[in-house]
Chain A
Amino acid sequence: MKVFAVIPAYREAGRIEKTIASVLSYVDGVIVVDDGSPDTTAEEARTTGVRVLRHRVNRGQGAALRTGTEAALRLGADIVLHVDADGQHDPTSIPTVLEPIRRGEVDVVLGSRFMGEEAQGMPATRRLLLIAGRTFNAFAVGVPRRVTDPQSGFRALSAAAARRLDFRQDRFAHCSEILRLVTRGEYRWVEVPVRIIYSADSLKKGQKPWDAARIAWQLFLGAFAR
């Protein structure tokens, strides 16, 4: 089975090469989508020899993921793997994420930080925010409470699922949107434990507590913008 990793990247100069190198040994191809970074993210990614697509204007992580997913499908991917560019997703978890699809058991695999694999360096505020996010997802977005991680970006899709999954949230709300589409649609899905490594850098760039309100607003607006 041909596996393509899609890495959306914005302002990841200095980090992107390392992330690509760590992911490459687990997949058949990597597609980096540079989301209009003003720095040298795209140039650095190109030096690794993987495919690099570029959004001329910054459109957000969700938009970049969708561009990369479409590219992977056009290149004949059987499995599309979504990985963050900042190195938070421990590449040694990749085989765990891919395995259920390889075995033909499910269409979508969602990586979770709360299933036993201890996240490295996760601040208490982030943990609290994620617990609140889970409750919000259950009540406002309609994601079942058995989904343990409300904001995981570490996931794999079979080609058929990737083709059908019509996620349109351009910015951070895409995580909740994908969860809703997957858990409420006719997909076979499973959550698996993944290891996340938080660093000072990734925390600085990552989501802030007040982003939760922004995500809620984007999801609400998205319901009217179809």
Chain B
Amino acid sequence: MLIQLILVGTMVLALIMTWRRFSERVVSLREALFWSILWLAAASAVMLPWVTSRIAQFVGVGRGADLVIYASVSILFLLVFKLFVQHEKLERKLTELVRHDALRDLVDSTSSPREK
């Protein structure tokens, strides 16, 4: 089917990109292997739909494609939440920096004329 060709083509491209990045020393061998396994697994799922269908039946979801969508949404949700938390941590670090800077203006030795 055409959709299988498009998806597998995209994954082959991703695989090529991964190893190109490895040769440019942008990603390590470990990372390249991890992503390669992921792309190959995805390509296998596309080419052999009965594999995902079997897993889908095992976990109680009707079709393999549905299982892939459910899993993708769950993973995306987790990733977005993780991003939110990371963003919050960054905000807190920024606050610490801004506070540190503001407190530098505090001269402990001389009191303000309005202090009793």
Q: Tell me the A residues contacting B by CB distance below 8 Å.
A: 24, 28-30, 33, 36, 48-51, 53-57, 59-60, 63, 66-67, 70-71, 74-75, 168, 170, 221-222, 224-225
B106 with A75: CB separation less than 8 A: yes
Which of B94, B99, B102 has its CB near the most chain A CB atoms (within 10 A)? B102
How far is A54 from B103 in the complex, measured between Cα atoms in Å?
8
A24 with B114: CB separation less than 8 A: yes
Choose one: A29, A70, A74; the contact of B115 (CB below 8 Å): A29
Q: Which residues of B contact A28 (CB under 8 A)?
A: 115-116
A-B contacts at CB below 8 angstroms, number: 73
Choose one: B85, B92, B102, B105; the contact of A170 (CB below 8 Å): B92
Choose one: B84, B106, B111; the contact of A221 (CB below 8 Å): B84
B112 with A170: CB separation less than 8 A: no
Please name the 4 residue pairs, one residue from A and one from B, whose CB atoms are nearest each other, closest first: A29-B115, A225-B88, A49-B114, A28-B116
How far is A63 from B96 in the complex, measured between Cα atoms in Å?
9
Q: Which residues of B contact A57 (CB under 8 A)?
A: 94, 98
B114 with A59: CB separation less than 8 A: no
B95 with A59: CB separation less than 8 A: yes
Per-residue CB proximity of B101-113 to A under 8 Å, as 1/0?
Answer: 1110110100111
